């Protein structure tokens, strides 16, 4: 019996040694590296938003700081907006300078006075200030290579703007237009659009104007401004209410206008104007023990 077991053991022993050698050889091999993953492609970068330049003329009056505060609260919510604030003054006022420093958005503070002879009732207003903003914009970009993306619009400080308006104007290729509310003695004025083209004007005053539109009702591509360096708001020969037409005639035609705001059927800006304040009880001389900043220069 013992001899039988011994013979079987000796018979199986070589095979056991072979198995041990195979296992030892396999464990000494380096582990196989996992299959290489294909390189991941970087997500395509979104093109930068075209900047919006908002030129705002302003002048000293009791509601000035209130108007600018409301406007700044809107502009702070708009991506890539640069505010060009132009005072009608021979020098920068302390009030507006402090306001700009605390506004919390990119802002350029300019000043230019309106000549006294142009301050008569019935004459166009803010001409010098808008031209100063245009000159600053052209000087800023004169040494840069085209094309230069960007959009310009004239944001008077007595208007109210929907944030949707800025997204509409940002895609302006040349000159874009839209309705304006509470203007011209009507609830709104607007360009009349057919088949995606401006064909006329719904307005309460002088529909025969080449561009019967409010200053708040259009935006201009920065490239158009740079390509037309002589396009400015004119004093000589310009009639009241005609400044928009006189300016736009220099850079575009009605056929080229780009309707925004759902083919000019939505109002996204209102010519609200602050109510004239009643200061009938204001003392002639300052009687309070503290000085409260309200408006610029002598109207404190």
Residues carrying an active site annotation: 244
pLDDT of the residue at 298? 45
pLDDT averaged per 10 residues in sequence order, the chain, 300 residues: 53 53 50 61 73 97 94 97 98 96 96 92 91 97 85 96 98 98 94 97 91 97 96 84 94 98 97 78 69 57
Structure tokens, 146: 């085209």
Q: Residues forming the annotated binding site for Mn(2+)?
A: 158
Whether residue 51 contacts residue 149, with contact meaning beta carbons closer than 8 Å, is answered with yes
Structure tokens, 30: 């380096």
d(CA 61, CA 198): 38
Q: Which residues lie closer than 8 Å to 268 by C-beta, 6 or more apart? A: 161, 162, 164, 165, 168, 178, 179, 261
Interhelix angle 64-75/94-102, nearest 10 degrees: 20
pLDDT of the residue at 241? 81
Q: Residues forming the annotated binding site for UDP-alpha-D-glucuronate?
A: 57-59, 88, 125, 130, 156-158, 271-273
pLDDT of the residue at 44? 63
Q: What is the pLDDT of residues 73-106, one digit of tens each?
A: 999 999 999 999 999 999 999 999 999 999 999 9
What distance, in Å, lies between the first and last C-alpha atoms of the chain? Answer: 124
∠ at Cα 220 (214, 222), nearest 5°? 150
pLDDT of the residue at 300? 39
Number of C-beta neighbours around residue 226 at 10 A: 17
Please provide the CATH number assigned to the domain covering 52-270: 3.90.550.10
pLDDT of the residue at 223? 95
SS3 20: helix
Structural domain spans, the chain? 52-270
pTM: predicted TM-score of the whole model, two decimal places: 0.81
| Alpha-carbon separation of residue 126 from 41, 89, 155 (angstroms) | 52, 11, 12
270 forms beta bridges with: 160, 181
């Amino acid at each position: 019996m013992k001899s039988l077991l011994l013979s079987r053991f000796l018979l199986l022993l070589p095979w056991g040694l072979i198995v041990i050698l195979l296992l030892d050889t396999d464990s000494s091999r380096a582990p196989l590296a996992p299959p290489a993953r294909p390189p991941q492609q970087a997500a395509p970068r979104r093109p930068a938003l075209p900047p919006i330049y908002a030129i705002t003329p302003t002048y000293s009056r009791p509601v000035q700081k209130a108007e600018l505060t409301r406007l700044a609260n809107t502009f702070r919510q708009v991506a890539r907006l640069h505010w060009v604030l132009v005072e009608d003054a021979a020098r920068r006022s302390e009030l507006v300078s402090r306001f700009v420093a605390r506004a919390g958005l990119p802002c350029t503070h300019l000043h230019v006075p309106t000549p006294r002879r142009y301050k008569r009732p019935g004459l166009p207003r803010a001409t010098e200030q808008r031209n100063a903003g245009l000159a600053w914009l052209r000087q800023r970009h004169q040494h840069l290579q085209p094309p230069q993306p960007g959009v310009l619009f004239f944001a008077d400080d007595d208007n109210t703007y929907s944030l949707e308006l800025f997204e509409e104007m940002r895609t302006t290729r040349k000159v874009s237009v839209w309705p304006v509310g509470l203007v011209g003695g009507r609830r709104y004025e607007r360009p009349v659009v057919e088949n995606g083209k401006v064909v006329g004007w719904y307005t309460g005053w002088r529909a025969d104007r080449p561009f019967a539109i409010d200053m708040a009702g259009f935006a201009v591509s920065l490239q158009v401004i740079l390509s037309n360096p002589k396009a400015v708001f004119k004093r000589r020969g310009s009639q009241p209410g005609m400044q928009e037409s006189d300016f736009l005639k220099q850079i575009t035609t009605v056929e080229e206008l780009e309707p925004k705001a759902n083919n000019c059927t939505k109002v996204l800006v209102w010519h609200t104007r602050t109510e004239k304040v009643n200061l009938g009880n204001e003392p002639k001389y300052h009687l309070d023990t503290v000085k409260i900043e309200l408006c610029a220069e002598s109207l404190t």
